[in-house]
Structure 1
Amino acid sequence: MSRDIMISLQFEHDVDFEEVLERLAKTGWEFVREENSLWYMTDFDWKELPLDGLTQAKLDMRAAYEAGETTGMTVRLPGGEFYANVMFHEDRRSVSLIPLLDYRTIERSPEFVDLGWYLENFRRPFRDFTILSTEASDHR
């Protein structure tokens, strides 16, 4: 059985993916999928680079982003236990967080993903942005 979990933020103005990545980094997010590599996406094709390849990943993402494609990067959330994909959409006003397996769950109800925790961590770097809407979903 598949499970789709996503949190989306819709901003009032365009946001650049590099600004989003910078804000995430300043609040403790890391661009790592495995201890020695990072993963990023252009045109729905995931790629892997060594950790020192962040500059190259951003260049590839920039070319795709400017061509109007969705781009993304795998991140480790603050605390180091949980991973997610951050997706930057073509409209340039929406960004999504897609938690990866081994989700953080609600302690007293472990069958439920702790969407509030993910949402709080995802919104924190953008408190000074006008966010028009947030959406969180967990479909099983």
Structure 2
Amino acid sequence: MSSRDSDIDFTFSQAVTVRAVHSALAVAGWSLKEPLGISYMVNEDNGYDWQSTNPGLEDEVLTLLDAPEKLTFEVGVCMYHQEAGTGGQFLFRAGRTECAFIPTINRRSLPEAPEFTDLAWYLQALVTPLLPIGLHSYEASDTGF
């Protein structure tokens, strides 16, 4: 059985905050509330130690991830599209001009080829809402191994 490695790498024309990305995507139906609650991480020790907390603590999580002392670290947060029943991890690189989206929650696949990720759906759901906050480019990949 093969596995897939799918992601979309976004580049912004200027640094963005996690809060700004979340706010832009919230208009399109995305939320920090996902099936496990709210999941996030700060990669201070190269451990990618994901934490989970209760819904209702969105503001506290966003404040933590956007804190000035965290700008030199990679941070991540899961976002979920309730209506579509899918979501994934957003990993923001140090400096915050780049972030990656990895579809890890109920990954959408192509109906005619379920082993492939439906990247077109994710691009449609993510690119347009991110344009107003300075989305400059993206690169999408879906690799089997």
Q: TM-score, normalised by structure 1?
A: 0.86
- Cα pair distance change 1:132/1:79, threshold 3 Å: same
Q: Which residue among 73, 81, 88 is the counterpart of 1:84?
A: 88
Contact 2:32 2:77 in 1 (8 A): yes
Q: Percent identity?
A: 26
Shift of 1:101: 4.8
The verdict on how the C-alpha distance between 1:53 and 1:101 changes in structure 2, with shifts beyond 3 A counting, is closer
Instruction: Give the distance between the partners of 2:69 and 2:82, measured in 1 at CA.
Output: 26
Q: Which amino acid aligns with 2:112?
A: R
User: Deviating runs (4+, > 4 A) in structure 1?
Assistant: none
For the 8 Å contact 1:64–1:70, the answer to whether it is kept is no
Unmatched runs of 5 consecutive residues or more in structure 2 = none
**CA RMSD, aligned part only?**
2.0
Cα distance in 1 for partners of 2:129, 2:51 equals 26
Query: How many Å separate the matches in 2 of 1:78 and 1:46?
Result: 21
Scaled by the length of structure 2, the TM-score of the pair is 0.84
Q: Deviations over 1:51-77 (max 9, x none)?
A: 011122123212376341111111112
Instruction: Give the Cα–Cα distance (whole angstroms) in 2 for the partners of residues 128 and 52 of structure 1.
Output: 26
Residue deviations 1:102-135 (CA, integer Å, cap 9, x gap): 3111122222111111111111212234433211
The unaligned stretches of length 5 or more in structure 1 are none
Q: Secondary structure at the match of 2:30?
A: coil
1:132 and 1:58, CA in 2 relative to 1: closer, same or farther beyond 3 A?
closer
